[in-house]
């Protein structure tokens, strides 16, 4: 059980306090309810570029990092398709520094042309480092485009193409900020060696006078059910053939999500998982094969990805994968195997909760999903799953019409 208290400021900022007096540290986590899915199709990569600009100075504080480092703190941020999250860890005595910094950049940024100019370049290098200058680095661009016809998950968080980032203008930056970076669109979590009373005072003092902004109703285009299998062949300068298969799956907030998450663990979680055992160890068709998903809030993709052993034909590799999928779809999963993946979830949650930073981040995430209390109900959602649930979800999930396949061939 994670204990916490929650209150809301008059401007709509939700504040969650998680006291933990076993540590000398404090964590301040600010999550904004905006991600790459909220972008314009012609200005992709913007939410993430914007995250970089949040470190370029705010209206009253020219440098974000320096005062924080002076206070013994560290910070970072990340952007996903769904959200943008900023976090600070620092000695609890210096917690007010974090309030000062975070509230000022929620109030307003400095909007410097120079910062935009440099961060466009930095993000371009990030784009190259992770998605261009790396074998198989482009596969997720291709897969998202193949699997989604309508929903903005069609593009990657880093952006559809470099040019979108290169063309970002300061007026776009300003508009984005005042639309999304408002108290009513944010969640503040404070954890560690702090008290509720202390946080109430500090939150009111630093965040209380920031204008609320308007809550933006999210009207994203809904991805229609896929009616025919999609396939794509790619040839690239890589050493090994690879196979990627994606199936549309329920979003993080759906109750069906839990069964599908367990199915992905049965197929790909740990060295005893089915795909690894049968396809890598027994049949020796793949040198590695994984099954995973990103836990996106809207309907996401369950992915199976593997690299073929040199000399194995794509056709044979795919057939063997299909056989394992058919088994999950047609046969009832043994009780013991279901218990195994439940035990793995229990353990994973326990290890995740060890770190204060993870607890703070998760509280914000569950609050974003609707209610921080969901965090404490999470394991019972998994515990309730039966083999019949797995069977039912697998039927729908692994329908051939729901599949997207990329055959990634080595051009060498």
Partner 1 sequence: MINRKIAPEIKDAVDFDITLKPCEKFTLDNGIPVYVVKSDEQDTLQLELVFPGGSWFETENLVASATNFLMKNGTSKHSALEINESIDYHGAYLNRTSHHENATYTLHCLTKHLTQLLPVLQEVIQDPTFSEEELGTFQQNMKQRLAVNLQKCDFVANRHIDKYLFGEFHPYGRVSTMDSYDALQSQTLLAFYKQHYTYNNCKIFVAGNLPANMVTLLNQYFGTTKWNGETNIIREQLPILPAEEKKFRIFNDENGVQGAVRVARHFPNRYHPDFSKMLVLNTIFGGYFGSRLMSNIREEKGYTYGISSQIYNFRQSGAINIHTEAGRDVCEATIKEIYKELHTLQQELVPEEELHLVRNFMIGSVLGDLDGAFQIIQRWKNLILNDLDENYFYNNIRTIKTITAEELQQLAQQYFTPEDFYELVVI
DSSP annotation of 256 reads T
Counting contacts by CB under 8 A, is residue 25 touching partner 1? Answer: yes
What minimum distance in Å lies between the beta carbon of 355 and partner 1?
8
* Binding-site string for partner 1 from residue 299 to residue 318, where x marks contact by CB under 8 A and - marks none: --------x-xx--------
Considering only 271, 315, 370, 380, the residue that binds partner 1 (CB under 8 A) is: 271
Residue with tokens 């013991």: 336
Site for partner 1 in 120-179 (CB under 8 A): 120-126, 128-129, 132-136
145 HSE (CA, 13 A, CB side): 11
The answer to whether 50 and 166 are in contact (CB under 8 A) is no
Residue 331 interacts with partner 1 (CB under 8 A): yes or no: no
Secondary structure E strands in 20-173: 25-32, 74-79, 84-91
Decide if residue 119 touches partner 1 (CB under 8 A).
yes
How many positions of this chain bind partner 1 (CB under 8 A)? 81
Query: Among 356, 394, 397, 406, which residue interacts with partner 1 (rule: CB under 8 A)?
Result: 356
Determine the Cα–Cα distance for residues 182 and 132; give it in Å rounded to an integer: 34
Q: Which of residues 358-387 bind partner 1 (CB under 8 A)?
A: none
- Is 73 an interacting residue with respect to partner 1 (CB under 8 A)? yes
Residues 382-411 that bind partner 1 (CB under 8 A): none
Q: How far is the CB of 283 from partner 1 (least distance, A)?
A: 11
> Which token pair is 81?
């398709």
Alpha-carbon span 97 to 64, nearest angstrom: 11
Residues whose CB is less than 8 angstroms from the CB of residue 153 and which lie 6 or more positions away in sequence, other chains included: 37, 81, 144, 223, 296, 298, 300, 301
235 binds partner 1 (CB under 8 A): no
- Residue 410 · residue 239 · CB < 8 Å: yes
Per CB under 8 A, contacts with partner 1 among 28-67 are 59-61, 65-67
Q: Which of 5, 288, 329, 376 binds partner 1 (CB under 8 A)?
A: 288
Kindly state whether residue 2 participates in binding partner 1, applying the rule CB under 8 A: no
Q: Is 19 a catalytic residue?
A: no
- What tokens appear for 76 in the block? 């970072």
**Phi, psi (deg, nearest 5) at residue 313:** -80, 140
In the complex, what is the shortest distance from the CB of residue 298 to partner 1, in angstroms, rounded to a whole number?
Answer: 28
218 binds partner 1 (CB under 8 A): no
| Residues recognised as catalytic | 51
């Amino acid at each position: 059980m994670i204990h916490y208290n929650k209150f809301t400021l008059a401007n709509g900022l939700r504040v969650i306090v998680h006291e933990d007096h076993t540590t000398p540290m404090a964590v301040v986590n600010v999550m904004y309810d905006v991600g790459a899915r909220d972008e314009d199709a012609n200005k992709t990569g913007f939410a993430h570029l914007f995250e970089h600009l949040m470190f370029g100075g705010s209206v009253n504080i020219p440098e974000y990092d320096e005062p924080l480092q002076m206070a013994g703190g560290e910070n970072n941020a990340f952007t996903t398709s769904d959200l943008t999250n900023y976090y600070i860890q620092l000695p609890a005595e210096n917690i007010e520094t974090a309030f000062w910094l975070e509230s000022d950049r929620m109030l307003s940024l400095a909007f410097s042309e120079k910062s935009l100019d440099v961060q466009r370049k930095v993000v371009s290098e990030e784009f190259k480092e992770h998605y261009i200058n790396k074998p198989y680095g482009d596969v997720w661009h291709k897969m998202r485009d193949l699997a989604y016809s309508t929903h903005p998950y069609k593009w990657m968080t880093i952006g559809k193409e470099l040019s979108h980032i290169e063309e970002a203008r300061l007026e776009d930056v300003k508009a984005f900020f005042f639309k999304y970076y408002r108290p009513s669109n944010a969640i503040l979590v404070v954890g560690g060696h702090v008290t509720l009373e202390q946080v109430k005072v500090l939150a009111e003092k630093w965040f209380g006078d920031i204008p609320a902004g308007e809550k933006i109703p999210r009207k994203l285009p809904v991805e229609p059910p896929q009616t025919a299998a999609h396939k794509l062949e790619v040839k690239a300068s890589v050493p090994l053939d690879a196979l990627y298969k994606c199936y549309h799956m329920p979003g993080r907030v759906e109750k069906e999500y839990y069964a599908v998450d367990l199915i992905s663990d049965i197929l790909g979680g740990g060295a005893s998982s089915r795909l690894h055992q049968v396809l890598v160890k027994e049949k020796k068709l793949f040198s590695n094969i994984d099954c995973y998903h990103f836990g996106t809030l809207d309907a996401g993709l369950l992915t199976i990805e593997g690299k073929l052993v040199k000399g194995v034909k794509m056709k044979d590799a795919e057939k063997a994968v299909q056989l394992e999928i058919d088994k999950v779809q047609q046969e009832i999963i043994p009780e013991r195997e279901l218990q195994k993946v439940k035990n793995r979830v229990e353990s994973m949650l326990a290890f995740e909760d060890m770190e204060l930073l993870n607890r703070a981040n998760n509280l914000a995430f569950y609050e974003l999903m609707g209610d921080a209390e969901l965090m404490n109900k999470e394991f019972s959602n998994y515990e309730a799953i039966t083999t019949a649930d797995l069977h039912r979800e697998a039927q729908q999930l692994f329908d051939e019409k729901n599949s997207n396949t990329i055959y990634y061939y080595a051009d060498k």
